[in-house]
Amino acid sequence: MPIDLTFCAGLPLRELAPGENLVEEGESSQGRLYFLSRGSLEVVKGDDISIAVLTEPGSVVGEISVLLGTTHSASVRAIETSSCFVADDGESFLRDHPEASLVVGRLLARRLYMATTYLADIKRQYADHDASLAMVDEVLETFVHHQDDGSTEAGSDREREPNY
Which domains does the chain possess? Answer: 5-106 (2.60.120.10), 111-145 (no CATH)
Structure confidence at residue 164 (pLDDT) = 42
Dist CA 43 CA 31 (whole Å): 18
Structure confidence at residue 47 (pLDDT) = 81
State the pTM of this model: 0.77
The torsion defined by the Cα of 101, 26, 37 and 60, in degrees rounded to 10, comes to: -30
Structure confidence at residue 140 (pLDDT) = 62
How many Å separate Cα 85 from the centre of its chain?
Answer: 17
Neighbours of 90 (CB within 10 A): 23
Strand partners, 76: 23, 43
Q: What is the pLDDT of residues 65-84, one digit of tens each?
A: 999 999 999 999 999 999 99
